[in-house]
Structure 1
Amino acid sequence: MSAKRINPRKHSNRAHAKVPGEMPSREDILAFVADNPGKAGKREIARHFGIIGGARIQLKKLLKDLAAEGLIEKRQKRMIRPGDLPPVFVANIVTRDRDGELLGEPLDWDEEAGLPPKILVITGKAKNTQPGVGDRALIRLTEADTGNEASHAARVIRVLEKRQGAILGIFRKRDGKRPPYLEPIDRKQRELDIDPTDLKEADDGDLVSVQVTRSGRYGHPVASIVERFGSMHSEKAISEIALQSHGIPHVFPGSVEAEAEAARPVTLGQREDWRKIPLITIDPPDAKDHDDAVYAEPDANPDNEGGYIVFVAIADVAHYVRPGSALDKEALKRGNSVYFPDRVIPMLPERISNDMCSLKEKQNRPAMAVRMVFDKTGRKTSHSFHRVLMRSAAKLSYVQAQKAIDGVTDEATETLVDGILEPLWAAYACLKKGRDAREPLELDLPERKIKLKDDGTVDHVYVPERLDAHKLIEEFMIQANVAAAETLEKKKTPLVYRIHDASTPEKLESLKEFLSTLNMKLPSSGGLRPSAFNGILQKVKDTPQAHLVNEVILRSQAQAEYNPQNIGHFGLNLRRYAHFTSPIRRYADLIVHRGLIRALELGDDGLQDGMEAKLEAIGAEISAAERRAMLAERDTIDRLIALWMADQIGASFKGRIAGVVKSGLFVRLEDTGADGFIPASTIGIDYYRYDEGSHALIGDKTGETYQLGDVVDVRLVEAAPFAGALRFEILSKGRTGGKRAQRTGSKSRVQKSRASQRGAAPARSKRGKKS
């Protein structure tokens, strides 16, 4: 890579070179923030302009005004302009410029900010800093000249995923003497002839991966089948598409498997012996790895009457996955486990995740544990961490534990109620008082699950009941996570926090505008807490608007992420929070475990010196891996449901409008949770305008309105399983009597015609982000 010129913008004589102590203008501050993306906090701005003493109050007000106007955003105590990039992030390498230099786009980009920026990607000399087109890399913004096509330049920290090689597609046979061919899943790929000498028993319609091996007649590429995944109607084939399209690593290298197989059981040694404490695991019935166990008892201390002691033991993954090992490098590469309806793509090999680390019933296992003391109001008064050897007393499912506490026991639970389950529920009742006083965000948006048949096809879609057993484990884990963050902060040990920022001023303004259409108000943004949103949610509970308001509030929230810079967790209403409780399936938790081992001198396998400088990049990497997994899981469910419904073309369903855009309506079916699109051109004979504030399409002449949350009847017109997309036709009339569309609104011409009905293409379903 040739050296680049220094970007003159970074060294220009900007207007913000002011006399020290003089209050900067709005333009001065915006210029400074623009020149220092991700680095300009209130302290840095004050230092740069020489603002001291009482003048800082005026500066704080000026920054607040700029944020309220949407001119700057606050992220992790730093100011950036809307649409700016953080210093370190994950990018997809998408193409080359006319000079042959690599161009990338940020993996995580808010579509509301417009098209993603093009980034000039500067490679290094090391092999792991030389990506190719189609690869994914962790990059850091730099001041190098960007050239003509790019708006930013960045240097490669390391390549995260090589996307080149095998091509995924559907095996197709031809009549006559012509060879079979591949119909690629990625429509950007061209069809490929397949070498007929080794078809791996593939049949027409099977999902296969191929590799180009030679050129055929006239230079046309010929590919050989690398692997056959079976019929496209199976879940395995559908999830394989998600793995390939999102670049999720799913085959462990030999060196990683070898390290895992070499793992041996742990003896007591220097560990504390907790084997007599009757810890139990409570998990889904099909769980294979058990990474947390719990126990509780009333506090015998007379000074803490009505209080409880809660024990949480977590699998000691750090003992087996040492820093810098092949297991460690692969775990960081994967970032987390990925969950599909019929299988898990684990972060760690099964020898570690399902065997040596899994807290199996009646078997000795190493654990990192925390003992927490709560008073009668649910406030944690103290905690301590321990490295232990434990022995799970029982393995229960959520439903099994709930039934037992409700009086319906079985052979496994009949002896556990008095001594184990009842104290656990009593401790949860105590902790719930503290949770209620804290008032975290309480959204009610049930998550759909898919039940598969034995052949891997969809049996039915359901929403599992949320039990107190789920809430108990969730609250115990939250408190353990808080304790971990508090201990590491106190010991001044580096860590990655789980952070969740407050909503941006733009999203809050949009939410307020929407709530005004329902005659509801959100308090002033100053000091806004989750309780303000909960007040709105409580007002609409058990009303027809409940689902609608929950959806819109969810969309107004920021996305949680991992970062060594703490800004707290807005949704949980916690000042400090770190993930500690799932190191089998999350790399962030493994970092926290190592930090505790180092801080508390619990072994020689703790966090290494010098890690603090790497945590920013690691946080960006594992945050991107988490979003990648969420997209893959969602896409798999969308494709499975589209495949399941492909034989129901023409059938009618009841659904709810789950999204409104200028081009049409997204509808979610009530029975299955399936998402589909209704093009605006098929709705009716009118001009419809998109009203952003009310999340609605409103007829220009009739005032007929289709709003987010409305219940509607639809007919399935088209199913595209490979894209995971359904297209509906609306059967219901819109609501009338509402406001007419304003001429200044976003106009969407929807004059109905037979041609437009025939030509409307299916669109990928779109849902709000999880925070």
Structure 2
Amino acid sequence: MAKHSGPGRKSGKQRKPRSVGKPRISRPGTRDHSSPKAGQIRGKVGANVSGQEAIVREIEAPSTSGQHVIAEDRDGQSWRVECLGEPVEVGARISFMPLGSRDGGRASMLRLLDAKRDRWVCTLLRVHGSIRLTPFGGVIAPELILTERDAKQAPDGARVVVTPSERRLEQRGRGAAKSHARGPSRKVAVRVVKILGQPFLPDADHAALVWKHRLPTTFSRRARLEVDAIEERLTAKDFEDRLDLRHLPFITIDPVSARDHDDAVFAEHHSSPALRLVRESSHEGAAASVPSASLWHCRLWVAIADVSHFVSATGWIDAEARRRGNSFYFPDRSIPMLPERLSSDLCSLRAGVDRLVLVAELRMDADGVVLAALFHEAVIRSRVGLSYEEAASWLEENAGSEKVRAKDESSADAVGDSGGEAEWGKSLLCLSEIAEALSRTRYGNGALALELPEVEIEVDAEGMPRDARLRARNPAHLLIEEAMLVANRAVAKALDVSGRPTIHRSHPPPSPQKWSALAVLLEQLGIEVAGDLDQPGVLANVLEQVEGEPSEERIHLAVLRSMSQARYEVESKGHFALRFEHYVHFTSPIRRYADLEVHRALKDLIRGQESSRNDSETHRTQLSRLAIWLSGRERVATEVEREAEALACCALMNGREGESFEASVTGVTEFGLFIRLDSPAVSGLIPVSSLPGFWIYDPDTESVVGEESGRRIGQADRVRIELAEVDANRARLQFRLVGK
């Protein structure tokens, strides 16, 4: 029996199943209104990372303390909200996070939800002699009126960009600016200014997503000039006070399509004499006493691109990067956080070229326990860039190979030796050994191994989707994941011990209510739980117990849904899922601004300097606001990437309406069944209203039961379905059951 102590524990009484589906017909033309209505579940808006909502009423003049607006929430309370670089206008709907008590009225903006637009991306359809414009992605817009004269001969069904024409139509009422209603209540005459193309063309879909989420696609002139001023080649001044590690055979391991290589790794057993010179280096942040040579078993070097060398905290490039928060990734392209000259060239750790890095040097015992951590500003020259597939294939062919291990030590130790497969191969084998030890120790401490299917979109040379399949993981992924985790943890601990403020990656434990709901589900599924779920290792044992079982994906998904959302915070509150007391993001400064901020704090530590932004209280306040902003930008990136994937899946299925597929049920709600096809691995919805007959939704078993047939459909069940509709505007696939 699943146990859970503490508040929120549910009694043995189950919730009453709710009837959903088609309404019963009592007589022709009438509905039986006694049946509950399927569909919506409402919840309270709290002060979490999703934030509270408000309407912007006034914009203050910019000042040295930043840009602020006065906004009014749903309760009529006014807030002075810091915008952190996001442009807003009067009437915009924003999400914000209160700073301090509610009475203080101060807040920091999370994201722009909806605002006045001067252009709209719509699908153009001609219906009964008139033109209908449907804004992309469910964006709320005025009623847009387009005549054939202003349509610029746009083909039927195309995505178009429209702007207000000189001819304005009447407004439908007063007080619209004060309303919290979701949409404007007026008509606007518009004209077509650009024809993007038919839905599911890569450029048309990309432009629509950029418009919906207001993503910046160009850099300011000042930022471009700042990039252009950077020297083409590294100079002797760039190398000053840096540790020269170019003799070490670092390698990069990335996805095959990667262009920005943030990280490189090198691992060795204790026997290499060439590295003893590094022990002479003294840096603040190293362990107070370095263990003797006989104590540490292996050494891992994690080198991360030194973006902060090129991006000043007070420069225009930094302002652009901070506003974006992170890079945005699409199946066929990306919108980088940094200008391409930095992200794909000067900062990218490409093979065979000198690159500036920050390095974590981690000395470990045979169990992967870090005995000493030192940090360096350094220069490296990566030997080779491998894809995950290439690294995994090499490891499979050479695991335990004495030929690689027995390579002549003298050639490996020669500074400047270009090296080869035998040289970096030894490092890769050692890294594999380290990763296994780190993983074993981490999971032994109760870390959660959540394995959920991820869809990978394969595109052709023009960016058109060709297939959608579940992403395959191999041993090389484990190598890099464990190396990055241990480096992030080591940097966090060093900064925390030194008392230097920075942006942490925090993951709080689930709420008591979430624990209770998960315990009830496990009990219903007959899964034995040895102890209370909130105790270290108990939930990890549950995940291990269901490995390979039919219910594995369902349990993993239920555990994920019970988790709180990870966020950025100044306070070091630990990471629940990883079971780390200290944790930051350090290893991806090319694509995440939080990592760049951590780099600056680490550099101050390495150099033994006080924080470069010295007023500690002011600095912590600025970091707190920045952490809120970056948490919000991360949510935007997640939404964008999820929607881009959904559009690609719709493009893949377009024109296949009426075809039948085998699928698995991945979720059950009051309004329908979520399913994933076997091939291609796209997901969609079977609306409960499309099911034959009348069905009852049982929230305790997460299933629906046919009232007449008695058939029960729940998570992980197999179904045969037929594609019913492809919605190009909402990026949704709708299916229906076929057969018995």
Q: In the alignment, is the contact (CA less than 8 A) between 1:138 and 1:621 conserved in 2?
A: no
Inter-partner Cα distance in structure 2 for 1:623 and 1:713:
40
Cα offset, 1:358, TM superposition: 1.0
Paired residues for 1:586-597 under 5 Å: 586-597=592-603
Paired residues for 1:361-376 under 5 Å: 361-376=351-366
Task: State the partner residue of 1:576.
Answer: 582
- Inter-CA distance 243–575: structure 2 relative to 1 (3 Å threshold): same
| Residues 148-189 of structure 1, C-alpha deviations (whole Å, 9 max, x = no match) | xxxxx944546965843343324648799x998854324632
- Asked if 1:537 corresponds to 2:527, the answer is no
Paired residues for 1:256-267 under 5 Å: 256-264=223-231, 265-266=233-234, 267=238
- Inter-CA distance 358–681: structure 2 relative to 1 (3 Å threshold): same
Paired residues for 1:244-393 under 5 Å: 244-264=211-231, 265-266=233-234, 267-300=238-271, 303-304=293-294, 307-393=297-383
Is 187-196 or 263-272 further displaced after alignment?
Answer: 187-196
- Asked if 1:615 corresponds to 2:623, the answer is yes
- Asked if 1:464 corresponds to 2:425, the answer is no
Q: In the alignment, is the contact (CA less than 8 A) between 1:445 and 1:550 conserved in 2?
A: yes
Inter-partner Cα distance in structure 2 for 1:232 and 1:559:
33
Task: State the partner residue of 2:63.
Answer: none
Per the alignment, in what secondary structure is the counterpart of residue 648 of structure 1? coil
The amino acid that maps onto 1:674 is: V
Q: In the alignment, is the contact (CA less than 8 A) between 2:150 and 2:192 conserved in 1?
A: no
The amino acid that maps onto 1:456 is: G
- Inter-CA distance 123–429: structure 2 relative to 1 (3 Å threshold): closer
- Asked if 1:193 corresponds to 2:146, the answer is yes
Structure 2 gaps, min length 5:
12-42, 59-69, 172-186, 272-290, 400-417
- Asked if 1:399 corresponds to 2:389, the answer is yes
The amino acid that maps onto 1:349 is: P
Task: State the partner residue of 1:167.
Answer: 119
Q: In the alignment, is the contact (CA less than 8 A) between 2:6 and 2:512 conserved in 1?
A: no
- Inter-CA distance 506–158: structure 2 relative to 1 (3 Å threshold): closer
- Asked if 1:659 corresponds to 2:626, the answer is no
Inter-partner Cα distance in structure 2 for 1:124 and 1:551:
36
Q: In the alignment, is the contact (CA less than 8 A) between 1:121 and 1:156 conserved in 2?
A: no
Instruction: Flag the structure with more relative contact order, 1 or 2, with Cα contacts below 8 A and sequence separation at least 6.
Output: 2
Structure 1 gaps, min length 5:
1-63, 71-81, 105-116, 146-152, 734-771
Q: In the alignment, is the contact (CA less than 8 A) between 2:49 and 2:632 conserved in 1?
A: no
Is 374-383 or 562-571 further displaced after alignment?
Answer: 562-571
- Inter-CA distance 394–202: structure 2 relative to 1 (3 Å threshold): farther
Inter-partner Cα distance in structure 1 for 2:204 and 2:528:
48
Q: Which residue, out of 77, 86, 99, partners 2:47?
A: 86
Paired residues for 1:9-20 under 5 Å: none
| Residues 569-619 of structure 1, C-alpha deviations (whole Å, 9 max, x = no match) | 111111111100001111111111111112232789955543211222211
The amino acid that maps onto 2:121 is: G
TM normalised by structure 1 equals 0.74
Inter-partner Cα distance in structure 2 for 1:339 and 1:557:
25
Task: State the partner residue of 1:762.
Answer: none
Q: In the alignment, is the contact (CA less than 8 A) between 2:388 and 2:474 conserved in 1?
A: yes
Per the alignment, in what secondary structure is the counterpart of residue 312 of structure 1? strand
Task: State the partner residue of 2:279.
Answer: none
| Residues 671-714 of structure 1, C-alpha deviations (whole Å, 9 max, x = no match) | 2332222222332334x332222111234565431112211111
Cα offset, 1:203, TM superposition: 5.2
Inter-partner Cα distance in structure 2 for 1:679 and 1:290:
43
| Residues 63-113 of structure 1, C-alpha deviations (whole Å, 9 max, x = no match) | x8556589xxxxxxxxxxx9573388755545879xxx9545xxxxxxxxx
Paired residues for 1:682-761 under 5 Å: 682-686=690-694, 688-700=695-707, 703-731=710-738, 733=740
Is 636-645 or 312-321 further displaced after alignment?
Answer: 636-645
Is 585-594 or 598-607 further displaced after alignment?
Answer: 598-607
Cα offset, 1:387, TM superposition: 0.8
Inter-partner Cα distance in structure 1 for 2:86 and 2:394:
54
- Asked if 1:645 corresponds to 2:653, the answer is yes
Cα offset, 1:194, TM superposition: 7.2
- Inter-CA distance 587–68: structure 2 relative to 1 (3 Å threshold): farther
Q: In the alignment, is the contact (CA less than 8 A) between 1:335 and 1:622 conserved in 2?
A: yes
- Asked if 1:134 corresponds to 2:89, the answer is no
- Asked if 1:424 corresponds to 2:431, the answer is yes
- Inter-CA distance 87–349: structure 2 relative to 1 (3 Å threshold): same
Per the alignment, in what secondary structure is the counterpart of residue 646 of structure 2? helix
| Residues 276-324 of structure 1, C-alpha deviations (whole Å, 9 max, x = no match) | 2221111111111111010011024875467110001101111122123
| Residues 253-293 of structure 1, C-alpha deviations (whole Å, 9 max, x = no match) | 22222222222244211222222222111111111111101
Cα offset, 1:213, TM superposition: 4.4
Task: State the identity %.
Answer: 28
Per the alignment, in what secondary structure is the counterpart of residue 647 of structure 1? coil
Inter-partner Cα distance in structure 1 for 2:97 and 2:105:
6
- Inter-CA distance 297–711: structure 2 relative to 1 (3 Å threshold): same
Inter-partner Cα distance in structure 2 for 1:130 and 1:414:
54
| Residues 616-658 of structure 1, C-alpha deviations (whole Å, 9 max, x = no match) | 2211111111111111111111122123213111111111112
Cα offset, 1:241, TM superposition: 2.5
The amino acid that maps onto 1:643 is: A
Q: In the alignment, is the contact (CA less than 8 A) between 1:90 and 1:136 conserved in 2?
A: no
Inter-partner Cα distance in structure 1 for 2:101 and 2:459:
52
- Inter-CA distance 229–258: structure 2 relative to 1 (3 Å threshold): farther
**What is the number of residues matched between the two proteins?**
633
Cα offset, 1:663, TM superposition: 2.2
Is 582-591 or 660-669 further displaced after alignment?
Answer: 660-669
The amino acid that maps onto 1:280 is: I
Task: State the partner residue of 2:207.
Answer: 240
| Residues 467-499 of structure 1, C-alpha deviations (whole Å, 9 max, x = no match) | 111110110000000011011011100011111
Per the alignment, in what secondary structure is the counterpart of residue 722 of structure 2? strand
The amino acid that maps onto 2:340 is: E
| Residues 519-541 of structure 1, C-alpha deviations (whole Å, 9 max, x = no match) | 11435547423x32232223222
Inter-partner Cα distance in structure 1 for 2:483 and 2:124:
53
- Inter-CA distance 689–582: structure 2 relative to 1 (3 Å threshold): same
Paired residues for 1:390-539 under 5 Å: 390-407=380-397, 414-416=421-423, 418-525=425-532, 527-529=534-536, 531-539=537-545
The amino acid that maps onto 1:85 is: G
Task: State the partner residue of 1:564.
Answer: 570
Q: In the alignment, is the contact (CA less than 8 A) between 2:144 and 2:189 conserved in 1?
A: no
Inter-partner Cα distance in structure 2 for 1:183 and 1:702:
40
Q: In the alignment, is the contact (CA less than 8 A) between 2:53 and 2:94 conserved in 1?
A: yes
- Asked if 1:598 corresponds to 2:555, the answer is no
Q: In the alignment, is the contact (CA less than 8 A) between 1:69 and 1:505 conserved in 2?
A: no
Inter-partner Cα distance in structure 2 for 1:306 and 1:124:
51
Q: In the alignment, is the contact (CA less than 8 A) between 1:89 and 1:617 conserved in 2?
A: no
Task: State the partner residue of 1:209.
Answer: 161
- Inter-CA distance 364–540: structure 2 relative to 1 (3 Å threshold): same
Cα offset, 1:423, TM superposition: 2.8
Cα offset, 1:326, TM superposition: 1.7
Per the alignment, in what secondary structure is the counterpart of residue 668 of structure 2? strand
Inter-partner Cα distance in structure 2 for 1:656 and 1:550:
15
Q: In the alignment, is the contact (CA less than 8 A) between 1:160 and 1:333 conserved in 2?
A: no
